[in-house]
Amino acid sequence: MKLKVQSVLSQFIAYLESKDLSFKDYQSLHHWSINEIGSFWESIATFFEISFSKNYTFSFKQGTDFNNVKWFSGAKISYAHHIFRQSNVHFPAIKYQEESSDYQEISWNALTQKTLEFQKILIQNNIHFGDRVVAYCSNTPEAVAAFLAVNSLGAIWSSCSPEFGFEAVLDRFDTLRPTFLFYNSSYYYAGKPIDVNSIIKKLKDNLISLNGCLDLNNHQNFHYETKAVNIECKAVPFDHPIWILSTSGTTGKPKAITHRTGGIILEHFKALAIHQNVKEKENYFWYSTTGWMMWNFALSSLLLGSTLCIYNGSPDYPDNGTLWRFAERACINHFGHGAVYYEGVVEKPPKELINPDFNNLITIGSTGSPLYPKTHNELDKIFPKQKIISVSGGTDVCSAFIGGNPDLAVIPGEIQCKMLGAAVEVWDDRGKKLLNKMGELVITQPLPSMPVYFWDDPDFKKYRESYFSKYETVWNHGDWATETFNTGFVIHGRSDATLNRFGVRIGSSEIYKVVNQLSEVDDSLVIHLKDENTDRLILFLQSKTFIEFDTIKIIIKKKCSPRHVPDDIFNIPQVPYTISGKKIEAPIKRILMGAEVDQVISRDSLRNPSSIDYFKKLNALL
């Protein structure tokens, strides 16, 4: 029997009804949220008592397209202020565990002091409003304090985890022209110390805009004074960037997705509280690195007065029970991870999950890729009292479009509902709405958490190409999805050539950049095949000479990251191209998944139509 917990959603509905609104069910509430956009987001602000240091003149004004919509015009707000207003002496701000040290709890006072310490260092290094501060760091309490210090000054944060190689990091940071660098010179993973000083040196040499740097390894101690500490947090315009997250499409460098401060505050209150039912004094955990948007999302649990739980290290070292021991020690109420992790859990359950007694656990969260029905059902057997919540969205909005509903039943294999404010539909290639058929996931109305812009994209060219090249007037997210008759959703995978590797999106261009520099390689093609039974990243190489595949894998791991390393490498006669000179990644993926060639591509559109034959034959062997 599932735990019966009064939901924040039901409290929100009661609040709206006190304002003379009435909803017969969730669908009617959702319909109101996407048709009365300004009123809905104002209700989020008032329900959660979001404070503006300067009030707004209006909450929403539609524009000619998504990127010139006006949100909360004239308002000023501070993310860090909303974090620290939760400060108290009754429960900790952070519960933390890493491979190489003991479990610890960080008080709110200690977190404030550490943030002040970093704030002073940033000021001493002439870091001002609007400056970009980057972090090549592990997921630690110091990283949280560093971000809050940056945010408190109105500077803009961008982070990357230390598993990424130099070139991948430089691609993410260089375009931002950062003025300060936080980093970890070394870290532990899977029981091994890893030194990244050589990469740090190259970053310092290449990021010529830097005013200063700080090794977080030298600032790990938190002070536990009882005297109350206050911190000044600068309020910024609603649209002022809070952070820049990196993602990749199919060509060029990673896109520098820039989010507005006010939009993130509103969205994260809504998504965490209403859709995941996270409350004050609860313990929230979502396993992540600083290079994944879930780091930013999980950090926002502090907005609700929850305790942020962080595990830094391999989730499977020294064994696959590591995170569950942490969950028990930290009394975690909300446990989150990528869907791939749960596949491993149910395939080989750790001893901690044999007759488990997690009385504190309320929800199991999953994202990053589809949680298949088989995995869901097996998790249900392990956690019969807990609610399994899947969410799907992405770095683009630092949140989800479809997700959980604490008051609705969960159907294995389906994500429960469209999230409030998100006008989600599934369309065919001609822009016709589909029901119970696979199509493109689209968003027909703007959200405040959509990017305010891409950094270094002043004319919005990359922005429009990324989301509006297929359907000019609505956001195309690049996911294959089905909206079911149950009003739920099934996500089938990516419809574009962005690779979803272990729950983290990476760009095929990042792999191309490395392998195409090798003299033996004439051309290359990367395809990711993933369904309930398969998760394979395949690299196809066009070459006239012998190539040692293990060497290729080592190079990719070093220059990109372990996630970029292919499972299989094949030599092919030719890489297929359109007449206009574009690699046809998505059609090849569909052919390898069993689709007929004529259903996915016209041979007449290809520069080298015979190149398709290899993949048609290979499909029979995979």
For a pLDDT cut of 90, what percent of the chain falls above it? 70
Sequence-distant contacts of 485-489: CB under 8 A, at least 24 apart = 485/435, 485/436, 486/411, 486/414, 487/27, 487/417, 487/418, 488/411, 488/414, 488/415, 488/416, 488/417, 489/392, 489/402, 489/414, 489/415, 489/417, 489/418, 489/424, 489/426, 489/441
Residue 114 tokens read as: 């550490």
**DSSP three-state, residue 446:** coil
For residue 500, is pLDDT > 80?
Answer: no
Q: What pLDDT is attached to residue 194?
A: 94
Mean pLDDT across the chain: 91
For residue 55, is pLDDT > 90?
Answer: yes
Q: What pLDDT is attached to residue 162?
A: 92
For 120, counting Cβ atoms within 10 Å of its Cβ (0-12 exposed, 13-18 middle, 19+ buried), the class is: exposed
Q: How far is CA 532 from CA 110, 339, 416, 466, 498, in A?
A: 45, 11, 19, 28, 19
Choice among 180-189, 364-373, 503-512 with the minimum mean pLDDT? 503-512
Compute the average pLDDT of residues 468-479: 91
Say if residues 586 and 497 touch (Cβ distance below 8 Å): yes
Q: Which residues of 177-208 are buried (b: 16+ CB within 10 A; e: fewer)?
A: ebbbbbbbbebbbeeeeeebeebbeebeeebe
**DSSP three-state, residue 113:** helix
81 domain-assigned: no
Q: What pLDDT is attached to residue 339?
A: 85
223 domain-assigned: no
607 domain-assigned: yes
Handedness of CA 565, 567, 573, 576 (dihedral sign): negative
* Each residue's pLDDT tens digit, 563-580: 889 999 999 999 998 755
**DSSP three-state, residue 213:** strand
CA atoms within 13 A on the CB side of 355: 0
How many angstroms separate the CA atoms of 485 and 466, rounded? Answer: 30
574 domain-assigned: yes
Q: What pLDDT is attached to residue 250?
A: 38
Say if residues 108 and 145 touch (Cβ distance below 8 Å): no
For residue 3, is pLDDT > 60?
Answer: no
Find the CATH number of the domain harbouring 599: 3.30.300.30
Host domain of residue 50: 8-63
How many angstroms separate the CA atoms of 432 and 471, rounded? Answer: 11
For residue 106, is pLDDT > 80?
Answer: yes
Say if residues 290 and 163 touch (Cβ distance below 8 Å): no
How many angstroms separate the CA atoms of 164 and 404, rounded? Answer: 32
43 domain-assigned: yes
Cβ neighbors of 303 (< 8 A, separation 6 or more) are 82, 83, 86, 265, 268, 269, 272
Domain stop point among 45, 63, 81: 63
Q: What is the CA radius of gyration of the chain?
A: 24
Compute the average pLDDT of residues 235-261: 84
pLDDT range class, residue 82, cuts 50, 70, 90? very high
Q: What pLDDT is attached to residue 269?
A: 98
Residue 75 tokens read as: 């308002």
* Helix 37-47 with 26-35: angle, nearest 10 deg: 110
Say if residues 32 and 13 touch (Cβ distance below 8 Å): no
How many angstroms separate the CA atoms of 292 and 290, rounded? Answer: 6
For residue 242, is pLDDT > 80?
Answer: yes
For residue 298, is pLDDT > 90?
Answer: yes
Domain stop point among 48, 63, 78: 63
* Each residue's pLDDT tens digit, 506-549: 767 678 878 877 888 888 999 988 777 778 899 999 988 888 89
DSSP string, 238-260: TTSEEEEEEE--SSSSPEEEEEE
Residue 572 tokens read as: 């092919």
Say if residues 553 and 536 touch (Cβ distance below 8 Å): no
For residue 235, is pLDDT > 80?
Answer: yes
Q: What pLDDT is attached to residue 45?
A: 98
Q: What pLDDT is attached to residue 323?
A: 97
Q: What pLDDT is attached to residue 11?
A: 97
Compute the average pLDDT of residues 52-68: 92
Q: What is the DSSP letter of 500?
A: E
Domain stop point among 63, 78, 102: 63
How many angstroms separate the CA atoms of 227 and 221, rounded? Answer: 17
Q: How far is CA 8 from CA 279, 281, 438, in A?
A: 8, 14, 32
For residue 1, is pLDDT > 70?
Answer: no
Say if residues 218 and 471 touch (Cβ distance below 8 Å): no
118 domain-assigned: no
Q: What pLDDT is attached to residue 336?
A: 97
Select the more confidently predicted residue: 296 or 481: 296
For residue 149, is pLDDT > 50?
Answer: yes
Domain count, the chain: 2
Q: What pLDDT is attached to residue 249?
A: 40
Compute the average pLDDT of residues 461-476: 92
Say if residues 226 and 109 touch (Cβ distance below 8 Å): yes
How many angstroms separate the CA atoms of 524 and 535, rounded? Answer: 20
For residue 382, is pLDDT > 50?
Answer: yes
Tell me the sheet residues that pair with 189. 192
* Each residue's pLDDT tens digit, 427-456: 988 899 999 988 889 999 999 999 999 999
Compute the average pLDDT of residues 467-472: 91
Select the more confidently predicted residue: 204 or 291: 204
Q: What pLDDT is attached to residue 251?
A: 41
**Tally of CB atoms within 10 A around 529:** 16
For a pLDDT cut of 70, what percent of the chain falls above it? 95
Q: What pLDDT is attached to residue 507?
A: 65
96 domain-assigned: no
* Each residue's pLDDT tens digit, 383-429: 999 999 999 998 999 999 999 999 999 999 899 999 999 999 999 88
Choice among 23-32, 347-356, 590-599 with the minimum mean pLDDT? 590-599
Compute the average pLDDT of residues 69-94: 97
* Helix 549-559 with 508-515: angle, nearest 10 deg: 120
pTM of the model: 0.86
Compute the average pLDDT of residues 485-499: 79
474 domain-assigned: no
Q: What pLDDT is attached to residue 601?
A: 76
